[in-house]
Amino acid sequence: MAIAIILVLVVVASVLFHLFAPWQMTPAASNWGSIDTTLLITLIITGIFFVAITLFMAIAVIRFRHREGSRAHYQPESKKLEGWLIILTSLGIVGMLAPGLVVYNDFVHVPQDAAQLEVFSQQWQWAFRFPGRDGKLGRSDVKWIDAANPFGLDRNDPAAQDDVLILNNEVRLPIDRPVKVLLRSKDVLHDFDVPQIRAKMDIVPGMVSHFWFTPTKLGKVEILCAEYCGVGHFNMRGHLVVEEQEAFDRWLASQPTFVQTLASAAAPSQESLLEKGRQLVESHGCRACHSQDGSTSLGPTWKDLYGRSEQLADGSSVQVDEAYLKESILEPNARRVQGYPPVMVAYTFTQDELGALVGFIKSLSAAGQKEQGPASATDDRVAQGQQLAQALGCRACHSVDGSQGIGPSWKGLFGKTETLADGTQVKVDEAYVRESVLKPGAAIVKGYAAVMPVFTPSDKELDALVAFIRSNADADADTGKVKPGKSP
């Protein structure tokens, strides 16, 4: 009897719970109603079966309980009962599946006036692409993916040039405008899931799946990956922000186009420019005559040369600027500084090389350093590295706040001494960080699995990444000094 009462109470409580549940959400997208209706139909059908079966158990417990002298009968089959059960279950299943077909049909049939948004997924992060002013997304293929072209767009396709690329996990959409969402994967199966807008679809490498919806509520909701895609799956999260049209337009205009990202990837950094200048100086033997420390030699020293006023051989004077430096390299005797013999031969350099040489000479004087801003160059690199860490998906496994991840946290990593899987110890310095990015399996820190994919960033990108990792070091680790009691 007690069991029968419990079963009845379970039924009553379940029904009451669903009728009076306080967690009703406000619809946030156009497809909300239809998808929720199908869910409700499923809930009602399964609910009816649940109530019926549980009540039947309660009745059976009472009616067929053990009694003195009564015996059970053997009843092999009942055609009539089986017939009814088959009909009822079939009706239930059809009732659950049929509405879904109608709703799904609507979900993938995009209205004419829908805008486009491409969702680009990879282990373990999201990126997004909007068509530019032409309203057309350019051709894409994974075979075109490289460090400067993370979306794999066709560089020769005119429609691709103005595509707007969002290389981080947050995307925005304008309210009340239908949008067609195209789903593309770079590597493995993922699933784009935004529960609040009732949208969820698998992303299959090699194909582009799609659906549409109209956001109808302002705010920020979470994007999840709902298909197990590797160790970083749980961290593959993003955000969708729905805002007013003007705010969205302003945001979209501030994002880089494909052409702009290509250009910024190709532009040489201050660092590599100086390095190129240094190499040219070495290979052309400039230092035989021009010192860099202020000592006198056959030609003027380069130390603090830039910005200085020099007395020329003909008695006039000149302020040493970029134009004068370039002229003096190409035609050494055109305006020679007084007191030096006309022994320098004319050199021919390309404009790029000339720029690198002048940049290097500038870096040797206080006036030039002020112009080039060495400090801000480092800041730039850190910012670039931060962006890159986001774009490449490093942050899915490496935290910057010290929290546990799949890989070592970057907080305080630089300058630390780590024990490797083989028991040896290593001081985390530039060389080790570089090696670990390029060859992750070479020297794994103890306790971590060998799951990191190999990256092939350009030299400039590697510089930026290392600078960013370094910027997360503890303040005193950056000086390069070994802390007392912590010898490697």
Which segment (111-119, 227-235, 263-271, 377-385) binds ligand CUA by CB under 6 A? 227-235
To the nearest whole angstrom, how small is the minimum distance from the Cβ of residue 405 to ligand CUA?
16
> Rounded CA gap, 298 and 290, in Å?
7
- Which tokens is 214 given? 């109209």
Q: CA neighbours within 13 Å on the CB side: how many for 219?
A: 11
Which segment (160-168, 224-232, 351-359, 438-446) binds ligand CUA by CB under 6 A? 224-232
> Rounded CA gap, 468 and 455, in Å?
16
Residue whose CB is less far from ligand CUA, 195 or 307: 195
To the nearest whole angstrom, how small is the minimum distance from the Cβ of residue 115 to ligand CUA?
25
To the nearest whole angstrom, how small is the minimum distance from the Cβ of residue 235 to ligand CUA?
9
Residue whose CB is less far from ligand CUA, 131 or 232: 232
Written as one string, the DSSP assignment of 353-373 is: HHHHHHHHHHTTSHHHHHHH-
Which of positions 397-416 make contact with ligand CUA (CB under 6 A)?
none
To the nearest whole angstrom, how small is the minimum distance from the Cβ of residue 222 to ligand CUA?
14
User: Is 227 a binder of ligand CUA (CB under 6 A)?
Assistant: yes
Residue whose CB is less far from ligand CUA, 233 or 276: 233
Count residues near ligand CUA (CB under 6 A).
Answer: 8
Give φ, ψ of 184 to 5 degrees: -135, 145
To the nearest whole angstrom, how small is the minimum distance from the Cβ of residue 237 to ligand CUA?
10
Instruction: Figure out which of the listed residues 197, 229, 274, 477 binds ligand CUA, where binding follows CB under 6 A.
Output: 229
Written as one string, the DSSP assignment of 309-358 is: EEEBTTS-EEE--HHHHHHHHHSTTTTPBTTS-S-PPP----HHHHHHHH
Q: What is the dihedral of CA 46, 51, 52, 56, to 10 degrees?
A: 140
Residue whose CB is less far from ligand CUA, 177 or 210: 210
- Which tokens is 54 given? 């549980």
- Which tokens is 486 given? 């912590």
User: Is 225 a binder of ligand CUA (CB under 6 A)?
Assistant: yes
- Which tokens is 89 given? 């279950």
Instruction: Figure out which of the listed residues 28, 137, 165, 236 binds ligand CUA, where binding follows CB under 6 A.
Output: 236
Closest CA to 463 of 443, 433, 439: 433
Residue whose CB is less far from ligand CUA, 125 or 386: 125
Helix locations, 168-315, DSSP H: 245-253, 258-266, 270-283
> Rounded CA gap, 151 and 145, in Å?
6
Give φ, ψ of 119 to 5 degrees: -105, 120
Residue whose CB is less far from ligand CUA, 183 or 356: 183
User: Is 392 a binder of ligand CUA (CB under 6 A)?
Assistant: no
To the nearest whole angstrom, how small is the minimum distance from the Cβ of residue 124 to ligand CUA?
6
Q: CA neighbours within 13 Å on the CB side: how many for 181?
A: 27
Residue identified by tokens 């969002």 is: 166
Residue whose CB is less far from ligand CUA, 337 or 451: 451
Which segment (223-231, 275-283, 340-348, 417-425) binds ligand CUA by CB under 6 A? 223-231
Residue whose CB is less far from ligand CUA, 197 or 229: 229
Closest CA to 478 of 379, 412, 420: 412
Residue whose CB is less far from ligand CUA, 124 or 211: 124
Residue identified by tokens 């056959």 is: 298
To the nearest whole angstrom, how small is the minimum distance from the Cβ of residue 52 to ligand CUA?
38
Q: What is the dihedral of CA 426, 427, 429, 435, to 10 degrees?
A: 10
Instruction: Figure out which of the listed residues 186, 233, 276, 470 binds ligand CUA, where binding follows CB under 6 A.
Output: 233
Which segment (107-115, 168-176, 226-234, 479-487) binds ligand CUA by CB under 6 A? 226-234
> Rounded CA gap, 106 and 398, in Å?
41
Residue whose CB is less far from ligand CUA, 173 or 229: 229
To the nearest whole angstrom, how small is the minimum distance from the Cβ of residue 225 to ligand CUA?
3
Which of positions 182-201 make contact with ligand CUA (CB under 6 A)?
190
Which of positions 97-126 make contact with ligand CUA (CB under 6 A)?
124
Residues that bind ligand CUA (CB under 6 A): 124, 190, 225, 227-229, 233, 236
